[in-house]
Amino acid sequence: MTLTGDLEKIHSKYQSILAVTEPYLLTYPGNLDHMNLKPFGHEIPRENIISCIDSTRKDFFNALQMLDKLSFGPVGMPMEKWVFFDCGEMVGAIYGLAVRGDKLDAAILKQYSLPADYTDLVPVSMYIAIPMAKPGAWFGHNLCSANSFLAEHYNFSGLAVLTKALGVKTMNIHEAFGATQWESGSLNIHLQLANMEVHSSYTPAHSFEKTMTYRSHYTDEKLLTALSGTPRVAEEFDFLVDVSDPEFYKNMQKKIEAKEEDYTIVGRPVYQDGKTFLPLKKGHI
């Protein structure tokens, strides 16, 4: 597939991924009028727009669940299919990249528990977002990529960043909330796209209390810059937090709840002496 317009300028590693994958979109058909089916000119083929109430794509739905399970691994929060359906596909959408079954090694089909003669799409990444009650606001529910278990067969470096940037554009998301763990490697992806305003730093309502709730603002310019190949490193910050510190997130939450201070993470993690630090500024920026 030849890339045109904005995507001609993205880094070659993302262009290489787009050359061997196909985009897909899974949602309730009634949501489609609110989606951009040609994000940055990269059209989602008609047959790859999948309805969550279509009974003929059962194997694809199973493969998506397997992608979630394999990528999150044993420490993850594996999702039941009803969670995909109730909390993703019907109310929001799943955008991702896929490779056709007949172009994949038999070993990979086996990993996904797909039949050897499966020729439909095999999803290698997914971004799930859900609209919130607040008009215009979305919640990023899931992002995952097959890189961790497909690396032997494919070099898909940059798959998650590319998937999130195209997914955000497909769903026309500008104000995005999310919940992620302070020590998650996925911060490299979220922060490659934009700053993250911290709305809660200690979240006992979540299964993992060392979770932050954040808000980011996305624009076309930010999404395309994220794909330029240059890491979004903070040039200025007020302080660095060591994400392994067992106390900082509770102290930060106290200041947020007392309305004494707000915080924004303003650049990708910094790795030093075996530790991970995040650059923060005071205020919402």
Ligand X SMILES: CC(C)(COP(=O)(O)OP(=O)(O)OC[C@H]1O[C@@H](n2cnc3c(N)ncnc32)[C@H](O)[C@@H]1OP(=O)(O)O)[C@@H](O)C(=O)NCCC(=O)NCCS
Instruction: Give the shortest CB-283-to-ligand X separation in angstroms.
Output: 26
Q: Least distance to ligand X from the beta carbon of 110, Å?
A: 20
Q: Are 279 and 196 in contact (CB under 8 A)?
A: no
Task: Give me the residue whose beta carbon is nearest to ligand X.
Answer: 185
Q: Which is nearer to ligand X, 66 or 159 (CB)?
A: 159
Task: Provide CB contacts within 8 A for 136, sequence distance 6+.
Answer: 174, 175
- On the 0-12 / 13-18 / 19+ scale of CB atoms within 10 A, 170 is buried
If you count them, how many residues does the chain have? 285
Q: Which is nearer to ligand X, 58 or 81 (CB)?
A: 81
What minimum distance in Å lies between the beta carbon of 235 and ligand X? Answer: 17
Cβ-based neighbours of 126, under 8 Å, separated by 6 or more: 64, 67, 68, 94, 95, 96, 142, 143, 144, 163
- Closest approach, Cβ 29 to ligand X, in A, equals 26
The least distance separating ligand X from the CB of residue 143, rounded to whole angstroms, comes to 5
Task: Please identify, using beta-carbon distances, which residue of 62 and 188 lies nearer to ligand X.
Answer: 188
Backbone angles phi, psi at 283, to 5 degrees: 95, 175
Helical spans, DSSP H, in 46-130: 58-72, 81-84, 106-111
Give the residue with the Cβ less far from ligand X, 35 or 161: 161
Contacting residues toward ligand X, per CB under 6 A? 71-72, 142-145, 147-148, 157-161, 180, 184-186, 188-189, 231
Compare residues 232 and 281 and give the one whose CB is closer to ligand X: 232
Contact status, residue 177 vs residue 170, Cβ threshold 8 Å = no
Q: Which is nearer to ligand X, 72 or 85 (CB)?
A: 72
d(CA 37, CA 46): 9
Q: How far is the CB of 154 from ligand X (least distance, A)?
A: 11
